[in-house]
Structure formats: structure tokens, C-alpha cells
A and B are shown apart, each in its own frame.
Chain A
């Protein structure tokens, strides 16, 4: 037979190019797979127990709370993982593996969740064959299992395992409980005491480990509309550069939080620090072993070029769809044509992306749009964000390879609520980003300022375009004017607020009387 060339051209011509068309990026990998889209990743010392770390993996963005009938199940085909590097190699020291299973308990019912009061029976005028008095609507949902769970038609349970030293162990509740995911908050008739229902989803897995999975309020906050309108930030919020007074208000918004009123799916795990460290102890802050690197991933079963010799035997292989360590690397640093490649690559190989770190595009956009002075490349001031280095890691800690990990010095005690700063380390609060990341940290403002050079002179010396010394203290108070979440976070595990109600959720819009609904400070929300 004639040798065939250019087989691939066939398909290539036929397909709309998924990653590159008309010279602009159309479809990043997670835009095609929102269930696997990691929205945020957090790791911090538990506020109420400094001997533990809480890790939170959020997926599936901008969930409208009223969007029934199926709401927002996790995907049974995705392997959700939280990875911990405990020896400065940017590789797995400890891994938590989470997988879900969905059950449809009442397949004839048109919605995933239904219930009211003590149940509603068919009335006297009910046509046959449903006889009067027979149950039509089950009792309100007050439990995840057993009595009070009759209305949970769509229910998910999950497993958590830990891989350490190459050995995988299932983590199970000492009481043998099945781990149920907490459903979305449908509304007060169906779920009359949602906080109590959601709290049932906190499980003790023994050895000081706790877990929670389900739909929750999205803890992230940003003026998304202004941001995407070509950096058209609100005049009332300084047009992208906050006043000192605005910057100091950690609990007041000066612009609308576009994520307000939306939910997200979360997986939270709280673990004793000693379970994660290479020493098996809780090291002091000055001990190199105290600083760990964290990242989350989503993966799907892999389709292989080569079939297994035994087709009936699954290979067990998974292909990574997305990863996240720091909240800024992929979005802020990595070039558009490399984002998917970055997403499915391993952090240990991130040196191949190091060139992006040295001249971040966003810095140049800030320079162009606002005219602010920025450091000249190479931006070595940003490298400590992708290596183990001071001020997060102790002196003597091996830097390790360039890798996007969320690094946390686990011996830095949690900052009490009253002293917590949204700007984290930039504001002298070492319990927050970039020493790990708490749910309340304002990573948008922190990251924008870091890219603009706020770390210059602290992490590395910088020069400006004229060759003069550039100091981070000269960086403007860049910010979107959204300084806090629309609903209060919890001070105990799982720390995120439980899901917003589908019936009464509220999105804060421009022009409202107050941008901060849950505060006594009524700052007008500018248009």
C-alpha cells in the first residue's frame, strides 16, 4: 500500500482549532471542562488549632444558587487531589485523593432535591391512581442520611485516601459513617435549617483529620465587570488605585463584588501538621522542615495511544486537567499559548516556564494602562514565589526547583480574627498570602501589587527602565475596590461560608446603596 502522509491534516483541517484561531485563544482546557476547573486553592494553619493545616480545593465556578433541578454535583469521573511537598523537591510527599459517587434515589422525581414541612400528601381531589392521603412531597430535608433525608434524590458520597511513601490508605470515619457531600442550599422550604444540614457534612476521619465536601458560598471576591471592561475600574474606587483610606478598610467594599451571591464546590481537609511533615513532627518556624508546598489537581481517566494488553483491565492511569498552587501563576504569568500545557504539566517541571516569570505581561499592561512605574526585567523579585525562600521559608531551607506551589510555613501561628489583614504579608500579617492562603486573603490586590513590583527591595533588588533602583515602596495601592466577601466566613472548619440560598441569594450590583450588605458601613456602590 502507498505510504500515507499527513493523516493528521485531515482532522486538523476539519476541526475548529480549539486552542488557536484567528490569532487569539478561544478555549482554554478548563473552559471546556468546568467541573474540573479549579477556581481557588487554599492552605493555611487552622485558625482555631495551630497544630493543624486546612487545605481547601474549590472547583466549578460561578454556581448560581437557584439553578435547579440538578444543581452542582461533583463529577464522578474526576480524581480530585491535594498534594503536599514536604522535602523541597516539588514532588508528592503526601497526597489526598478524593472521588465521588452519585446516586439517584428517586429516579421518577423531576428534581434533585424536594421537601416541605413534614411532607405533603395527596389531597381529597387527587385523581387516580394517586389516592388521597398518599405521600407526594417528602418531608423537608434535614439530614444527609436516614430520617430527614428522604427528599435527597440526587445524593453523592465520597472517599478520601492518603498516599504517603507510596502506600495508599483509605481514610474512614471511626464510626463507619459514609461521607456524604453537602448539597446546594435549595431554599427554606426544602431545607429549613441549612446550616445545621451542612454541618452534618463535617466528618472526623480519625487521627485528627476532618473533611467536608459540598457546595458552599464562593469565598473569592472581585469587581469582575470592571476588570473585563478593559480595566475600567470604578471612579469611586479610585479607578484602580485605592486611596489610603480605602486601602485600610478591610471590611468595606467600594466596588461591587461580582462573585457575590454565587456558590462553588469545595473539598476541605484538615490534617495535623505532623501528618504532613517529613519529620513526622510539628517543626519550629526556624526549621526548614516547617515549610511545605501545596497544590491541588483535577484529573480524568486517561485515553492512551497504546491499548492495554488486556483491554478489560483499566490502566488506572489519569490525565491531569488542571492544577493550582499560587493563585496567580497561570493567569498572571504564563503566556496564552502555554496555559493548557502548563495546566497538565507537573510543578517539578516548571523551570520550562521560568522565562515567563522574568517579564510578566501584566506588569506591562499595568504600565501601559495606568502609566505606573514598573521594574525592568528580569524580575527576580518574583522568583521567591516559586521557590522555597525567605520570608516564608526559614534560613537554610533548600530552594528546590522553580515550581508553582502554595508554600506555607506551618509554624507561623494563625492570626487572630481581629488582627487579620486582607493584604496578608504585604500588611505585616504573616499568617496570610503568600505564606499559604486563607479564604479571606485579597489575592487580586496582592498579586497585582506583586507584579507591579511591591516585593522589589525585599526579595530581590530591582531596577526601573532608566536603570535607577526600583523600590517596592513606590508601588501604587493598586486594587479593584472589593476588599471583602459578601457574606462572613466561618471561624471554624471548613472556614468557608455555607452555600447561599437558591431562593434568596443576592448579587450585589453597581448603583446599590451599599457595596457591603453585611456591614453597618453603608458605602454607596458606584456605577
Chain B
């Protein structure tokens, strides 16, 4: 830290000036809207909803073509639309531009998993864990891969870690993580546990499509 604190001032200065210059034409409203739409699309798993989120992100990029957050949402939207080639292309560019961003590493992991490129998916997920070992994103990204690998206990452990590290005020996110845990319980035939977990998820976020779908899945599996 000490060894050239003097250099950090320079970097922060440049970034500050840059941010101030951009403030007058900030596309933040569109970015915030894209974030909300991505969350909604995640819940509905609807290609159309992902496309809508991507269009809003594109609006932000019309104002500020290099905006990193907007491009990240665009990559998510492309992933949700299952346009994996375009998603991989954009996410790779963003990763090269800001390799510190764990969100992009996580998106890359998911894209590669969707392309059945599991070694690469694991490599990217490991970067998330190495960069921010205790973040919810690190645990949920790794949990997803453990689930794919059939390590359900390991996946449950990591979803639980992610849940424990997620803000109590973010009911929607906690509900989502509970749905993931419920799916693991369902896979391991712990129907009572899955039902209880889904009840918790529903209480937290009553309108979740994912909760309803998982409840239906549970009922079908139990033969109800």
C-alpha cells in the first residue's frame, strides 16, 4: 500500500474527472432499468424478457458506448437469449478490459457451462473464488458447477454459504437462492426439505415464477 500511495492519487484523480465529465449525460436511469429487467427475466426465464433488458442496456450504450455496466447487462441478456456466441464474444472483451470484475468471470463461467465447456467454466469460476473468496457470487457460481458435476452436497453447501452472505434486506435474491437450494433437495429426493425451503422462498418473494414452477415440479415428482 505504502509503496506508492502517490500513484493511487493519480489514478483516482483521472477516474474522478472522467466520472464528473460523464455525469451530465449519465445513462444511469437506463442501466438501473436494465438491472431490474434482468432480474425479472431471470425469474421468468423468458427469452423475450431478456431481450427487453438487452434493448434497455443498448439505450444506455447509445448515450455512453463504453459504459461497462450496460455492456455487462447486455452480455447477461445475450446469455439469457441463448445467443451464446455473441454472449461469449462480448463477455470475453469485457473480461479483457476489466479482468478484476468478478461478475464477468461469473458470466463467462455460465456461458461456458451452457456450451458444455466445463473445464473452461470451472477455470472462470475459480477466478471468481480467488478474486473474492467470500462473496455470494463466488459461492453461487461454484455451486452451479458442483450441481452440474453431480456433487449435490457440495452445491448445497455453497448455496447455503451464498445465502448466508446475502443481505437480509434483499428478499428477492434470498428467495432465488432458496429456490436453488430447493432444487438440490428435490434432486436428492428430500421432498419435505424442498417443500419447506420453497415455502420460505415464497414468503420472501411471493410473486416469484421460479418458486411456483419449482413447487409444481415438486408436486409432479411426488406424484400429487
B-binding residues in A (CB < 8 A): 1-2, 4-15, 17-20, 22-25, 29-30, 32, 37-41, 58, 61-62, 218, 220, 222, 224, 227-228, 230-231, 259, 264, 300, 302-307, 319-320, 324, 327-328, 331-332, 336-341, 344, 361-362, 365-366, 443-444, 447-448, 480
Contact = CB atoms under 8 A, between A and B. Distances in A.
A106 B131 CA distance: 37
B19 A305 contact: no
Listed residue (A38, A331, A443) with the most chain B CB atoms within 10 angstroms of its CB: A331
B interface majority secondary structure: helix
Contact of A8 (B16, B126, B137, B173): B137
A17 B109 CA distance: 17
Contacts of B39: 9, 13
Interface string B136-155: 11111110111001010010
Contacts of B106: 8, 11-12
A-B pairs, 5 with minimum CB distance: A337-B98, A14-B173, A331-B7, A341-B99, A327-B3
Given A227-B9, A328-B7, A222 B125 contact: no
Contact of A5 (B110, B122, B166, B183): B110
A496 B10 CA distance: 29
Nearest to B153: A307
A225 B98 CA distance: 29
Given A19-B132, A224-B6, A264-B2, 9 more contacts: A8-B109, A20-B100, A22-B28, A40-B3, A222-B5, A336-B11, A337-B97, A340-B100, A341-B100
Contacts of A337: 97-101
Contacts of B88: none
B6 A5 contact: no
A379 to B, nearest CB: 15
Given A18-B102, A19-B100, A365-B10, A8 B141 contact: yes
B60 to A, nearest CB: 12
Contact of A222 (B2, B129, B162): B2
B76 interface: yes
A522 to B, nearest CB: 26
Contacts of B28: 22
21 contacts: A5-B79, A5-B114, A7-B110, A8-B107, A8-B141, A9-B80, A11-B135, A11-B141, A13-B38, A13-B173, A19-B131, A20-B100, A23-B22, A29-B132, A224-B5, A306-B149, A336-B11, A339-B100, A340-B131, A361-B11, A365-B13
Interface in B51-103: 67-69, 76, 79-80, 82, 97-103
Contacts of A62: 1-2
Contact of A24 (B19, B132, B146, B173): B19
Contacts of A37: 1
B223 to A, nearest CB: 16
Listed residue (A11, A18, A447) with the most chain B CB atoms within 10 angstroms of its CB: A11
B101 A17 contact: yes
A306 B5 contact: no
B14 interface: yes
A40 B110 contact: no
Given A2-B213, A13-B39, A331-B8, A24 B3 contact: no
A306 B154 CA distance: 8
B4 A443 contact: yes
Interface of B: 1-16, 18-19, 22, 28, 35, 38-39, 41-42, 45, 50, 67-69, 76, 79-80, 82, 97-103, 106-107, 109-110, 114, 122, 125-126, 129-133, 135-142, 144-146, 149, 151, 154, 162, 166-167, 170, 172-173, 176-177, 180, 183, 213, 217
B67 A304 contact: no
B205 to A, nearest CB: 12
Contact of A319 (B16, B130, B177): B130
Contacts of B151: 306-307
B178 to A, nearest CB: 11
Given A5-B80, A24-B19, A331 B4 contact: yes
A341 B61 CA distance: 26
A23 B11 contact: no
Contacts of B183: 1, 4
B98 A338 contact: yes
Contact of A331 (B5, B107, B137, B217): B5
Nearest to A302: B130
Given A9-B76, A23-B18, A227-B6, A1 B217 contact: yes
Nearest to A228: B9
A443 B10 contact: no
A328 B19 CA distance: 25
